[in-house]
Amino acid sequence: MISYLFQCEQEIPHLQHCLRYLAILILLLIVPLTLAAEEKTQVDQIFALFDSGEAIPRETIEQNLALLEKLISSDDSLRIEKLNQLKCWNQPSDTEEEIAKALHSAEQALANITATASAHYITDITLCHSWFLQLTGDISGAMQGYTKSVKSAYENEDIKLIADARSLRGALHSYIGDFSEALDDLVTAQGLYESLNLTGWANVNLSDIATSFRRYGDPESAIKYYSKLKELYVKNGNKEQVANVTSDIGIALDEMGEHEQAIENFRSSYQYFKEHNLNLIAAINATNIAYSLIQLNRLNEAETYLKEAAQEITENEPAAYSFLKLFLGKIRFQQGRYQEALDELSASENAFRVMHNDRGLIQLLQLKSDIYASLGDLPQAYNTLQQFVVITKKVDDNTSAHQTTELKVKFDTSWIESENKRLIDNQKSKEQELALLEKNKSLQLIILLLTGCILAIVSLFAYKQVHRNRHLQTIALTDYLTQLPNRRHIYAQAELYFQQALKQQTPLSVIIFDADHFKKINDNFGHEIGDQALLTIAEACQALTADRNLIGRIGGEEFLILLPNTDANRVWQLAHELQTLITRYGAINLPVELKLTVSAGVATLHPELGKQDDSFARLLKRADNALYEAKNAGRNCVKAAEAIA
């Protein structure tokens, strides 16, 4: 083009003609760049739509994926990775065949990961694969994949993926009845989604939190959360989400004994899914309707719905199949057809065990024992009842407050290794720069300038890295409501103080306490006042001890205070002072008719006396037992742990 312009300047009569061609050439260069910029903007807008977490119709999903394939250039590796992630997550999964196909596709995506793939891409595809494993009923494989993804996301400080992985893992923990782990994951994910302003995903996660409350045995709280979500979905016109939440409300109503209202909710959802040809989901709602009808002893109607559902639900859908067969077994039992009932329960039991659904097994085993008793087979009835007791105890243990004695702090040093590698690479780079400086003195100034720039960039990167680490650490170690250390953080601090007390032969005391009748506070005054009560307790704790790192929220309304160099007499006094402070602050911050009190248990480590706990877990266990003594003594009191024998 330069030679062409030179020729034009030599031919003055043709200068205007040359300038015209020059303008055309410039336009030819600018227009493609402008179009490319517009295409990238459109691509990013589509990505933003998917990232929002808002419900998107299947037809719109297919159209947007096809448009992305058309707009993204083959050399744009980052956007191609993101497109492949969207393809994995947005595969159809309404039927058994679609789920099997989606799982196969996710397996291929994992197998074909290249050496240049980003850590974000690898983690997200692993997460996607685990999700489809869960849909096929492989609970163990899904849980392993979720846990692996959580670890990877933390290692790479990928906050969005941390939230996604913990949300999925929390929902699965909730399904299998491990509510402590479920709420730990789900509440952490909720805080992350809200901090990232991802309202759509926060709403989905909130639904899982509500479901956990329902499964835990608090359907009233679950309905409050579900109703708020339903209002939001109605306002936004998300009809499919409205139908899903309506069905969830129906399940909670069933658990409250409101079976007629539950049927109304299920039928509303059932009609929507039938009209939109979502036959499997419609069949699941038909199963729910049948359960409510069984509770009302309308067996013929219930059997009609179950027969319809059986046309869609097969053994390849173990989650739905297990309850379908369980409900058929209930009908056969009430009809006096005992052997047929046992046959149905046999199929149901296999499915429950595949899905590790202990909550379902509890219902099944109780019914099975009743059937054997009706048949006069008392040994089988007794054996089945024994299984029922074992599994019931297992589920109860998962929800017990005694889990506060489990220290689950794990230290992951992989980020340190990564940081060391980065520092070594930087050091090699500097050595190469110094070698070049020695070889060529004339380039010394330029190299010094380049070194300064590199150091500035590295310093900026290090600053941002520290800032991100601190932000992530704050999220991971701080309770979202009270801003006190959470269970993991306070337990880590406790272990350090315990070892220090043993080494220095000094006493260490702990106070473990919780609010009395906290569920009634939430029920009678609302969750907002309940949250204010927890904040009031946190304020009183900080008035008692100036160091907030000695106070931790370890459960819903349960707190722990560490008191180094404090003997048994002093901790007894401090526990009573704490009760007084909480009552005083409660009178200031809370409604007049609400009297906030706590029950507390205290325990002391006395290494100088020779008799001592062998671990902090043992010390905490003694304090926890004292807390339960305080509750059994009528609450609003302090009990000291028994001395080591």
φ/ψ of 563, rounded to 5, equals -135, 85
Asked if 172 and 142 count as a contact pair (C-beta separation under 8 A), the reply is yes
Task: Mark whether 557 is an active-site residue.
Answer: yes
The active-site residue out of 81, 312, 344, 557 is 557
Quick one: tokens of 638? 């302090």
Spatial neighbors of 514 by CB under 8 A, at least 6 apart, are 401, 555, 557, 558, 559, 598, 599, 627
Whole-number Å distance between alpha carbons of 186 and 464:
28
φ/ψ of 74, rounded to 5, equals -70, -20
The strand pair at 638-640 and 508-515 is best described as: unpaired
DSSP string, 194-222: HHTT-HHHHHHHHHHHHHHHHHHT-HHHH
Spatial neighbors of 62 by CB under 8 A, at least 6 apart, are none
Whole-number Å distance between alpha carbons of 419 and 421:
5
Asked if 576 and 602 count as a contact pair (C-beta separation under 8 A), the reply is no
Whole-number Å distance between alpha carbons of 227 and 214:
13
Spatial neighbors of 293 by CB under 8 A, at least 6 apart, are 259, 263, 299, 301, 302, 305
Quick one: tokens of 478? 């701080």
Whole-number Å distance between alpha carbons of 284 and 243:
12
Asked if 305 and 293 count as a contact pair (C-beta separation under 8 A), the reply is yes
Catalytic site positions: 557
